Amino acid sequence: MSRIGKNPITVPAGVTVDIKDNTVTVKGKLGELSQEITSDIKVTLEEGTITLERPTEAKDHKAKHGLYRALIANMIEGVSNGFTKELELVGVGYRASNQGQKLDLALGFSHNIVLDIAPEVKVETISEKGKNPIVKLSSYDKQLVGTVAAKIRSFRKPEPYKGKGIKFVGEVLRRKAGKSA
């Protein structure tokens, strides 16, 4: 079993953590996040470090111990540094552009896909001649960035023969051989 829950979390300068009842609220320079925690897991803040304790060694308590520790660590990382995801559009004629929070994708369908991005996520499109277009998403909420990136990727998942589609930058695709003559 993992022992992630036992690791203490250090709170960097400029980040304030508030623990009330079963809710942990984290404020930083990029934003504010809060997470509700079950009453079984005890969260304590002492001298800039957060520790989580579980009441028993039951499987459910062990799982939630590690889960909430990871969620709080991601919240602190998000409000201090932020998270970014980059998506690459691979395919002839695939284009991406944005007007503020509206992302316009040309993915080979009869019409362009226009997607309204949540205001917490900053969207940026990079189009260089001779290179695949890149959509860059950044936010302080890791879960929200991942959800938006997965939604965009779901419009055209990369196919295994030519590799056409929307993929994460750095993602390794399993390729298949084509027809053998």
Contact 128, 122 (CB under 8 A): no
The predicted pLDDT at position 29 comes to: 93
The predicted pLDDT at position 2 comes to: 61
Q: In sequence order, what DSSP letters do the residues of 38-49 get, joined into one string? A: -TTSEEEEETTE
Contact 152, 72 (CB under 8 A): no
For the chain, domains (ranges, CATH) are: 4-80 (3.90.930.12), 83-168 (3.90.930.12)
Per-residue pLDDT of the chain (181 residues; tens, 9 = 90+): 468 888 999 999 999 999 998 899 999 999 999 999 998 899 999 998 999 999 998 999 989 999 999 999 999 999 999 999 999 999 999 999 999 999 999 999 999 999 999 999 999 999 999 999 999 999 999 999 999 999 999 999 999 999 899 999 999 999 999 888 6
Instruction: Give the Cα separation of 21 and 160 in Å (integer).
Output: 49
pTM value surpassing 0.85: yes
Contact 136, 148 (CB under 8 A): no
